[in-house]
């Protein structure tokens, strides 16, 4: 068979990356927009590989009971596949079943790539506490899982068209709405989509805690950072404020930073109460040395410090983020932020740490929040080589997490729990917090 051919498939499983699995004469076929249990008609799009093919969904002949009208009208199955925008690849699935599928993908990755069989919990974003200083309507998720994106990237095509990319392509498509965005970001996106054509490239829309949307143009071919990206904005997490560049990294879901900070703080308190860190004390060992790797502007370093970690070092390669981290952590005398690639910083620490410093590191906790590609074997092995009392790994990719957990397991650290959070409703993405302790 060849690309363009139509075939009928029974969808039997979900795979990492937001695609679903069918088989044709024994060969795996990856299909978007489906649900396990469905019978579908697909058009083959890539038959070059002997091990698997790729296809696009044309019609659903037997629908799953979990299928719903897509939350993004332009991405529904009755639209031409080449016109369906990306970014909401689970938007046709009932919200609770989305989370069940994501949990399955994570559990399967842990078993397949790490040999780890550990209970995995899955829940949505944690609601803000009532006194967090925000309107009551913004303290929890919306019932339908929409209106959460505080950051949206629009793309500008060669013809001046402004909109998202079509799914799994770099082709700009026009859309009427942006249901995953907050109301303010959606209004700004609509204005950009109907306004004067911009130069080809990208336009980032950012809504920090103050509610005002910043517009950051990033035209193709421009190497220097636009001045709009360097504006210092303030993000609020509970009652604490964090300075960050408008164009810098911050969690996309309006409740994500709160959820992950709360999750990590809860894990740290549990570790202390269990005696893993701090000899059973209710807080972390104040004389230990705690690390926040890939620390950004200091979100998790603050969680470490709030939980009793007097000596905390945050390591981040982005100099602007590290500068903000220094200001965000200024209230703690023992906290500092260093600008360096994590692998290089760990290599330097391994060479230069004194016996007393190594002993403090062994009583400390390492928190890491690497990019989607994961920490990698070298960094994971280096962390394990410090022999910390515990490692708290915040991950946004199940397979990358699993591969790193395998490295940790080979070096004496076992995952005692993995808590997953659906901070990207209607997409296949998730966040997970894994707790690793010495075997």
Q: How far is CA 112 from CA 49, 106, 408, in A?
A: 22, 10, 15
Q: Is 427 a catalytic residue?
A: no
Q: Which of 57, 255, 342, 396 is an active site residue?
A: 396
CA atoms within 13 A on the CB side of 158: 2
- Cα 103 to its chain centre, rounded Å, is 15
Rounded to the nearest 5 degrees, what angle is found at the Cα of 49, between the Cα atoms of 26 and 42? Answer: 60
Residue 358 CB neighbours (<10 A):
14
Please name the residue ranges forming H helices in 363-397.
377-385
For 285-305, b/e burial (b = at least 16 CB within 10 A) is beebbbbbbbbbbbbbbbbbb
- Using a 10 angstrom Cβ sphere, with 0-12 exposed, 13-18 middle and 19 or more buried, the burial of residue 190 is middle
Q: Cα–Cα–Cα angle for 106, 109, 114, nearest 5°?
A: 125
By DSSP bridging, strand 311-316 and strand 289-293 are: parallel
Alpha-carbon torsion (328, 332, 338, 342), positive or negative: negative
From CA 21, how far away is CA 36, in angstroms rounded? 8
Angle, in degrees to the nearest 10, between helices 342-352 and 377-385: 30
Catalytic residues: 396
């Amino acid at each position: 068979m060849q690309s363009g051919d139509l075939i009928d498939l029974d969808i039997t499983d979900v795979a990492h990356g937001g695609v679903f699995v069918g088989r044709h004469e024994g060969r795996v076929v990856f299909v978007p927009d489906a649900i396990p249990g469905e019978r579908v008609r697909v058009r083959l799009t890539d038959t070059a590989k002997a091990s698997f093919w790729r296809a696009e969904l044309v019609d659903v002949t037997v629908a799953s009971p979990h299928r719903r009208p897509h939350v993004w009208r332009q991405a529904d199955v009755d639209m031409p596949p080449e016109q369906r925008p990306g970014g909401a690849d689970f938007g046709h699935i009932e919200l609770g079943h989305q989370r069940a599928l994501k949990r399955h993908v994570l559990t399967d990755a842990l078993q397949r790539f790490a040999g780890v069989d550990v209970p995995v919990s899955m829940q949505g974003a944690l609601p803000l506490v009532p006194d967090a200083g925000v309107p009551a309507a913004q303290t929890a998720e919306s019932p339908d899982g929409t209106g959460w994106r505080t950051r949206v990237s629009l793309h500008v095509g060669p013809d001046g068209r402004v909109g998202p990319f079509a799914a799994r392509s770099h082709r700009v498509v026009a859309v009427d709405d942006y249901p995953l965005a907050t109301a303010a970001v959606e209004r700004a996106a609509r204005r950009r989509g109907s306004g004067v054509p911009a130069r080809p490239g990208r336009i980032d829309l950012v809504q920090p805690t103050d509610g005002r949307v910043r517009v950051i143009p990033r035209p193709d071919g421009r190497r220097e950072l636009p001045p709009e990206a360097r504006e210092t904005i303030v993000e609020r997490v509970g009652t604490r404020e964090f300075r960050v560049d408008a164009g810098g990294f911050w969690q996309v879901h309006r409740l994500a930073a709160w959820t992950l900070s709360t999750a990590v703080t809860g894990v740290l308190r549990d570790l202390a109460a269990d005696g893993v860190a701090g000899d059973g004390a209710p807080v972390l060992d104040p004389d230990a040395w705690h690390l926040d790797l890939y620390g950004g502007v200091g979100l998790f370093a603050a969680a470490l410090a709030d939980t009793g970690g007097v000596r905390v070092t945050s390591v981040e390669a982005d100099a602007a983020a590290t500068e903000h981290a220094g200001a965000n952590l200024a209230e703690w005398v023992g906290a500092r932020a260093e600008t360096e690639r994590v692998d290089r910083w760990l290599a330097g620490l391994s060479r230069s740490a004194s016996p007393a410093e190594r002993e403090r590191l062994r009583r400390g906790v390492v928190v890491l929040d690497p990019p989607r590609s994961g920490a990698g074997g070298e960094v994971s092995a280096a962390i394990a080589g410090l022999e910390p009392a515990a490692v708290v790994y915040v991950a946004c990719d199940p397979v990358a997490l699993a591969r790193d957990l395998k490295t940790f397991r080979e070096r004496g650290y076992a995952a005692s729990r993995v808590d997953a959070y659906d901070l990207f409703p209607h997409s296949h993405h998730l966040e997970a917090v894994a707790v690793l302790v010495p075997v």
